[in-house]
Amino acid sequence: MSQPFPNDNIAKLLQRVRLSAEKSQKAHRTPILLAVSKTRPAADIRAAHACGLNQFGESYLQEALDKIDQLADLPITWHFIGPIQSNKTRPIAEHFQWVHSVAREKIARRLSEQRPTGLPPLQVCLQVNISGEESKSGASVEALPALAALVDELPGLQLRGLMAIPAATDDEQEQRQAFARLRRVFEALQQDHPHMDTLSMGMSGDWEAAIAEGSTMIRIGTAIFGPRQR
């Protein structure tokens, strides 16, 4: 069972995010705080929403669908941030507004085909394996131009930017180097896709380094809700 988080966690975190963005020469605006709510009960999300958050990220599909249903009365924007299996694309396309983890053409095509016609296009970030780790999901840097071109053409999708989870390290310089690589890849892709506006990078252990390198959206779980329960 999850422990309730103190309400001032969010206010303090938002203030720190604002200050970090003001200090960064690469941050053009204060990044969006995406609350990573996987494994957290609907009650915690409701409490976080009451503290001013309205963007929530989920990785486990069935758990997420249950919470989306329980919280249907709230104006929440739901982001799917986990790996995507082919047999899970339809409910993702039907119930989420954002997907951060598109890394294969097959998945992109299925999400577009299965996006209900009455809904706006699904907002998509391409996941990049920026550190080249075999254990990590994500497209290679070399595969990105073709994938971005495809997503841009699919009617059910809107290409917004890139997402990455660099190799874990406590060294701030190494963190910044990885985020700087992703930013350079993003800026190169913007030459052909100038509407791209989202760099989804930075989590609870490295978000300050991410903001210093120009992140526009940070994905925070532990710093809001405390340690994960499973």
CATH assignment at residue 116: 3.20.20.10
Q: Which residues contact 175 (CB under 8 A, 6 or more apart)?
A: 166, 169, 206, 209, 210
The tokens for 2 are 């999850």
Please indicate, yes or no, if residue 181 is contained in any of the structural domains.
Answer: yes
**So what's the pLDDT on residue 5?**
55
pLDDT at 1 over 50: no
Please indicate, yes or no, if residue 86 is contained in any of the structural domains.
Answer: yes
CA torsion angle for 211, 192, 98, 150 (degrees, to 10)?
-140
pLDDT at 227 over 70: yes
Please indicate, yes or no, if residue 177 is contained in any of the structural domains.
Answer: yes
Please indicate, yes or no, if residue 153 is contained in any of the structural domains.
Answer: yes
- Residues 77-99 pLDDT 10s: 999 999 999 999 999 999 999 99
Instruction: Report how far apart the first and last C-alpha atoms of the chain are (Å, whole number).
Output: 10
Please indicate, yes or no, if residue 230 is contained in any of the structural domains.
Answer: no
Please indicate, yes or no, if residue 202 is contained in any of the structural domains.
Answer: yes
Q: How confident is the model at residue 132 (pLDDT cuts 50, 70, 90)?
A: confident
The tokens for 21 are 């963005």
**Total-model pTM:** 0.94
Please indicate, yes or no, if residue 127 is contained in any of the structural domains.
Answer: yes
- Region 127-133: what's the mean pLDDT? 87
Mean pLDDT of the chain: 93
CA torsion sign, 141 to 165 to 70 to 87?
positive
Whether 157 contacts 121, CB under 8 Å: yes
The boundaries of the domain holding residue 36 are 8-225
- Residues 154-172 pLDDT 10s: 999 999 999 999 988 999 9
Question: How many domains does the chain divide into?
Answer: 1
Please indicate, yes or no, if residue 2 is contained in any of the structural domains.
Answer: no
